[in-house]
Structure 1
């Protein structure tokens, strides 16, 4: 028998959980009739939900104690921590990561299994090829993020990539060997390498509830990814400093020539303002970027746990 683990992070998903389990269980049971050599386990991670998510998970655990397990965090630690906790608990030879809102189409799971079993691929990942029903500004910003990320980083991430993927055990071992506190899973999945097969699908709406990602959170997550896998922001600050310094010197030189050779009267405050503004801009922009990197180093050196488990079934 080959065990397949499903890792499902949950945050305030009381409405989605029953629909998810019924849908996925039906697909997997039908698949098992044709391929009886596979068995399943579910690992739900309750990421500090403040609704009835834990109650729904408890019901499933009572009804299916051999296959449905869950972890209950002491508070909300974020999706990255939830993914890490699920991967650490999963025992399967194949491990599938997916969202509970069914925007990740579970119909792809059988195809993922067959691909890993019959080819030399180590990862099968889903890639969304359209963003219908999503606000245009959000789609535009997402596309721009991938474009910038792929331009400035050696780690390439395909536009529309999702966390939804199935991986073999050596891939999970590689991911768990990376203990960093600041985590960006899409970047980590790409950084570790391994042979990957991409399955394309079209956008789906949530089956229930509403998204918990605001524009502010998405922007912060994007910056996390850029700074975790690229030092280009530091280089930008350096070149910006050089540009501003050069501009300042050119401006001051112009003022000096006009005053010395053409006897043009230039107000002293203009020169002072130019010098102060440009040098101040260099300092602030550079220190801001350096401060972000130092902040990340600070969090890494603390070696705090990524999450705290209040309960596990």
Structure 2
């Protein structure tokens, strides 16, 4: 670059640096208006204040012309008339507040009937003691234990050779007694014939038959019944027989002798009472119980 060009650049820079200095005319005019604030020092003008800048969202276009905005709104809503019609239809179909509440309740409980609000009575507080409510009576317990005896098809059928026919002259009856229940323990004693027949093979296997007559004044203890076993568990109680109606009881009893089955029968006719007792081991009732029932059926009055 040539020297004259450099000098021209320097003059331009100096003029730009002294552009902020006041001219003599400006100083004179300022002195005429307010002589107290006139100074020989140059005064810099106040910086030009820029207008505030507002940041708008990216979607908005603040400098867009009006026609561009209308075109964008029409692009977003292509069919404004159709939209207005739809809004009118929705407003017409919208239920009223009361109807809206009823529909919301029906939607929550479609099958529930409308509940009626009933006034609740205030609780009554009393210092008097209240009696306890009556407790229900307990149900009676059946005196049953274990399983009942097996049906007849599971038991041994009695045979004719299993019995001996015995007749009691004092009792006025005859019966077929099972041989397996043992022999007469009183056969060797004198004057032992009476209304009672006894057969025994031990404490677990025995039977007895007797007749109780209130008009008998000769026999020893003619009104003495057969012994009763305690703590028995009843299985069955039924009526049996035709000529004589027997009240029969099948039970079970367990003591220091062992587990036993008991068949007891009793019938009354013409003022006389007939009794039977059969005792057998519980483990052998399938063959001994049919024999006891057969003996009961064979009972006849002479």
Counting helix residues as a fraction of each chain, which structure ranks higher? 1
TM range (shorter): under 0.3
TM-score, with structure 2 as normaliser: 0.18
TM-score, with structure 1 as normaliser: 0.18
Name the larger-Rg structure: 2
